[in-house]
Amino acid sequence: MTDGSRPPAGPPRPYAFPSIEREVLSNGLTVLVVPMRRLPVATALLMSDAGAECDPISHAGVAALTVNAMTEGTRRHDAAALAEAFEQLGGSLDTGNSWAHAEVSTTVLTAHLPSALGLLAEVMCEPSFPEGEIGRLREERMAELLQQRTEPRGLADDMFARFAFASNSRYALAEGGDERTVVGVTRDVIVAHHARFVVPTRSALIVAGDVDPATIMQQAETAFGRWIGDAGVTPDIAVDAAHSTRQVHVVGKPDSPQSELRVGHLSVPRTHPDYHALSIMNAILGGLFNSRMNLNLRETHAYTYGAFSRFDWRRRASSFETSTAVQSDVTAAAVREILVEIDRMRGETVRPAELSLAVDYLTGVFPIRFETTAAIADALVMRESYGLPADYFDSYRDRVAAVTAADVLRVAHEHLDPSRLQVVAVGDPDLARAELEALNIGPVQQYDASGMRTS
């Protein structure tokens, strides 16, 4: 029999983040092993401190192209043979990169792990970088950039970065670079990037799965022990804002049924001491389904399918950013509501129920985030990328639970600045522009889909 009373929670059952075995090989390669014994699978991931932050601005995109090019052949396997060798083991050879790191990884049944580690070592240590494959990858990035002109979400993200970060900052350009920078990323540039940054002392091998740590340490020594290389130094990155005042940027996409909106500005690095308070503040503002932003724009006004805010964390400077896609004729009204919510966040203390929702969610959902070998590997990539302490995951829930309503108000006040917000609207300029001007929140500039200023 059901009735109107909510069932109480039972006693909470304990959860501990899996234990991590760590060793550093004699060549400086860090090895992290996380035993997870439920299913006979393992994820093996190699990461290097070789992300887009290592790109010279003139060659923006080299980090991304390098990690992709590493999978295009080694001294022992050409590109097709390498893909075939991984896939015969049941693993795909995956690559990824962020501002902070570059990675290659695969997930296989544990029986195939030793062979997979051998292949990953080839990819990391002795890629052959065939000229023809590099040319093809460069063309594929150009194709992606071309396609973006009709893809409003990616276009809005890239344009926002350009208005959030100063033009002399690497962060102002997409991680993959643009047409002007990618064209210059030759084989020589890639080989040099690999030699400087994909080296043992800037790298870690992460293995999560049904494995014995001692065995993995031995296999790591066999596969990677002879790898050598002198580490380069990460270039400095300018971390200034592009604009010191609030501005509106309309990117024209005629006849769009919706406007893609981005509203935000430059913010502090991931390692800032306010990180946990900012996470809670953002959850309340626009991180959760029942956040102020989503309830206002979606559930009250029905302007959109969803409205969210987030911090796009980076090591030197991050960005705070609200995103939503709204029906074209409410573009200005939606921007107004976003500004109202940001002001409200800075102006008044959050209600206890809002604070407890965010804290209880972030602490309660913690075990659910780490069910898979890939999720554990990603968590360690994050920890290593930002140089977070060894007990980061063990103490995470306590640090989140310690955030108070006063902390939330303080960080909102310190880290959200309405006078510096950059507003980007990718949409029909005929509908969006006049309304945004009438909103009177700052000067309005207009661009075409290739990013050229048109007025």
Partner 1 sequence: MRLPIDTFLLDNGLRVTLSEDHTAPLVAVNLWYHVGSANERLDRTGFAHLFEHMLFQGSANVAANEHFELIQRAGGTLNGSTWLERTNYYQTVPSNQLELALWLEADRMARLVAAMTQEKLDTQRDVVKNERRWSVDNQPYGTWWEKLPALAFPPEHPFHHSLIGSMEHLNAATLEDVAEFFETYYTPDNAVLTIVGDVDTAEARRLVTQHFGSIPRGRGRPPLPEMGLPSVFGDWRREVVADDVMVPRLFLAMRAPVLASDDYYPASVAGAILGMGRGSRLHRRLVREQQLATSVSAFTFDLAKGSDLLIVDATARPGIAGGSLETAVGDHLDRLHADGVSTQEVTRAVALIVTDLVTSLQSAQSRADKLSQFATFFDDPTLVNRQLEAFQRVTVDDVNRIARARMGRDNRVSLLYVPREETGGEGQSSSGVAQLETVR
Selected from 89, 123, 134, 261, the binder of partner 1 by CB under 8 A is 89
Please name which of 363, 355, 379 lies closest in space to residue 283, comparing C-alpha atoms: 355
- What span, in angstroms and rounded, lies between the C-alpha atoms of 424 and 313? 19
For the segment 305-344, give every residue that binds partner 1 (CB under 8 A).
305, 325-327
Binding mask 49-78 for partner 1 (x = CB under 8 A): ----------------------x-------
Amino acid at position 67, single letter:
V
Q: Provide, rounded to whole angstroms, the least separation between the CB of residue 302 and partner 1.
A: 3
CB 31 within 8 A of CB 24: yes
Binding mask 214-253 for partner 1 (x = CB under 8 A): ----------------------------------------
Selected from 169, 258, 282, 385, the binder of partner 1 by CB under 8 A is 258
- What span, in angstroms and rounded, lies between the C-alpha atoms of 211 and 228? 26
For the segment 134-193, give every residue that binds partner 1 (CB under 8 A).
136, 139-140, 142-144, 146-147, 149-152
Q: Provide, rounded to whole angstroms, the least separation between the CB of residue 71 and partner 1.
A: 8
Residue 284 has a CB neighbour count (10 Å cut-off) of: 24
Residue 30 has a CB neighbour count (10 Å cut-off) of: 18
Contacts of 255 (CB under 8 A, 6+ apart): 428
Closest CB to partner 1 among residues 71, 128? 71
Q: Provide, rounded to whole angstroms, the least separation between the CB of residue 220 and partner 1.
A: 21
Closest CB to partner 1 among residues 53, 435? 435
Tokens, residue 54:
């290592």
Distances in Å between the alpha carbon of 230 and those of 55, 63, 255, 387?
A: 18, 17, 54, 20
Closest CB to partner 1 among residues 29, 357? 357
- What span, in angstroms and rounded, lies between the C-alpha atoms of 270 and 126? 33
For the segment 362-391, give every residue that binds partner 1 (CB under 8 A).
363-368, 370-374
Tokens, residue 370:
């780490």
Selected from 35, 312, 361, 388, the binder of partner 1 by CB under 8 A is 361
Query: Given the rule CB under 8 A, which of 158-166, 289-297, 337-345, 379-387 is the region that contacts partner 1?
Result: 289-297
- Determine if 256 is a binding residue for partner 1 (CB under 8 A): yes
Q: Element (H or E) spanning 208, and its range?
A: strand 203-209
Please name which of 252, 242, 218, 221 lies closest in space to residue 431, comparing C-alpha atoms: 252
For the segment 100-129, give every residue that binds partner 1 (CB under 8 A).
107-109
Q: Provide, rounded to whole angstroms, the least separation between the CB of residue 366 and partner 1.
A: 8
**Binding residues for partner 1, how many (CB under 8 A)?**
79
Query: Given the rule CB under 8 A, which of 81-89, 190-198, 401-409, 436-444 is the region that contacts partner 1?
Result: 81-89
- Determine if 196 is a binding residue for partner 1 (CB under 8 A): no
Amino acid at position 404, single letter:
T
SS3 content of the chain, % helix, strand, coil (to 5): 45, 20, 35
Closest CB to partner 1 among residues 260, 321? 260
Task: Work out the burial of residue 146: count CB atoms within 10 Å of its CB; fewer than 13 is exposed, 13-18 middle, 19 or more buried.
Answer: exposed
Q: Provide, rounded to whole angstroms, the least separation between the CB of residue 402 and partner 1.
A: 17
Please name which of 435, 443, 428, 434 lies closest in space to residue 249, comparing C-alpha atoms: 443
Reduce the DSSP state of residue 261 to 3 states and report it. Answer: strand
Selected from 41, 44, 338, 409, the binder of partner 1 by CB under 8 A is 41
Q: Provide, rounded to whole angstroms, the least separation between the CB of residue 271 and partner 1.
A: 26
**Which residues pair with residue 73 across a beta bridge?**
78
For the segment 404-423, give every residue that binds partner 1 (CB under 8 A).
none
Selected from 21, 27, 35, 90, the binder of partner 1 by CB under 8 A is 90
- What span, in angstroms and rounded, lies between the C-alpha atoms of 44 and 104? 9
